[in-house]
Amino acid sequence: MSVEKIKRIGVLTGGGDAPGLNAVIRALVKTAIRVYGWEVMGILDGYDGLLTPGKIKPLTLVDVRGILHRGGTILGTTNRTNPFSVPRKARGKILNVDESEVAIHTVRKHKIDCVAVVGGDGTLLLGNRLRKKGMAMVGIPKTIDNDIKATDFTFGFNSAVTTAMCAIDKIHSTAESHHRVMIVEVMGRNVGWIALYAGLAAGADAILIPEIPYDAREVAKKIREREADGRNFSMIVVGEGAMPKGGKRIYYKAEGSDKYGRLGGIGNYLAKQLSKYVENEIRVVTLGHLQRGGSPTNVDRMLGMRFGHEACRLIAERKFGYMVALRGDDIVDVNLEDVIGVQRAVPLDHPLIRLAEDIGTEFGR
């Protein structure tokens, strides 16, 4: 790739929905056009937009009006398309075909000098692979799970925590009125950030996260201690990837379960376990996709805007293969090679875990 001036950029959003995506797109389009004088092309439905004809369209200032406060992404998204392995029918069979050259070709054909890829670990990894084949790109990290390495937070996380916290707040009074144990299962397939933050913020009595395999008896003990203390109800927050000590993750319980919603995830499993040890009525609420939707919080709108704005600077500086990241209150650049493929779990010595245990929260260890 020659060192010619950038004239036109593209932007795509991939992976699961996250509040703040439109804030990213709006800031990126406005900055690109107003500050740098670039044209911007919207690539629809993630990488599918690079493989399917007719899915690239100009993005103007008019297109990004009135979208800042909206959930979802005006570009569409998918977490299914991998340009290096596309299922195609051939001679009556489904074969996975490497169509990365098609993607590269599409980008060139549209004279897109650089693509801003907004996505989670998987989406960024694919972007980086395409870069090596000739597609200039920069990354913008997106994950409500907050599991991307090298960025303190990503947009979407605060909104997900807010949704979960408000739900737990709502359920609290029912737990108290009915003297029940309420289990709220929140997102976080591999990491416990949402559970930790939402649980702490909502005053949960126990928080179970993938990073700390739990002993159901310890949770039951906490419930009984509260009873002895005159508090005959308990609120338990469990991340979907949590697992019992010595057990294994059960969130992929049934074949195809993910497709139709989870048929009895860890929340229900925990309920069964606890019913052996405590007398209380137990109820489970699984928040699921609620956590990916809704108008973004101010935290996520700001972070999304900052990422979109700084991604333009990355492009202007031709720092291809880098992504923007939040460090403290600053936006920094990070080499994708140092980041992707590594998950950012909650460290066991995280100050919030110590805080939580100090004020009496049970982690089941």
Give catalytic residue positions: 145
Task: Tell me: does residue 284 bind its own copies (CB under 8 A).
Answer: yes
Pairing of strands 86-90, 93-97: antiparallel
- The residue among 135 and 202 lying less far from its own copies, judged by its C-beta, is 202
Beta strands in the chain (DSSP E): 8-13, 39-43, 56-58, 86-90, 93-97, 114-119, 137-141, 181-186, 206-208, 234-239, 282-286, 322-327, 330-335
Member of 123, 292, 314, 362 binding its own copies (CB under 8 A): 292
Q: Is residue 358 at the binding interface for its own copies, with CB under 8 A as the rule? A: yes
- Cβ 97 to its own copies shortest distance, Å: 19
Q: Is 288 in the site for its own copies (CB under 8 A)?
A: yes
Examine residue 319 and tell whether it contacts its own copies (CB under 8 A).
Answer: no
Exactly one of 24, 25, 26, 219 binds its own copies (CB under 8 A); which one? Answer: 26
Rounded CA-CA distance 254/231 in Å is: 36
Task: Out of 71, 122, 134, 321, name the contact with its own copies by CB under 8 A.
Answer: 71
Residue that has been written with the tokens 């500086």 in this structure? 317
Which residue in the set 50, 305, 346, 353 belongs to the binding site for its own copies (CB under 8 A)? Answer: 305
Residue of 17, 113, 121, 240 that binds its own copies (CB under 8 A)? 17
Pairing of strands 39-43, 56-58: antiparallel
Give bridge partners of residue 232 from the DSSP assignment.
none
Binding residues for its own copies restricted to 167-226, rule: CB under 8 A: 167, 169-174, 176-179, 182-183, 197-198, 200-203
Binding of its own copies at residue 123 (CB under 8 A)? Answer: no
Residue 325, beta-bridge partner list: 332
Residue 329 to residue 340: CA distance in whole angstroms: 22
- Confirm or reject binding of residue 149 to its own copies (CB under 8 A): no
Pairing mode of beta strands 206-208, 93-97: unpaired
CB closer to its own copies, 105 vs 283: 283
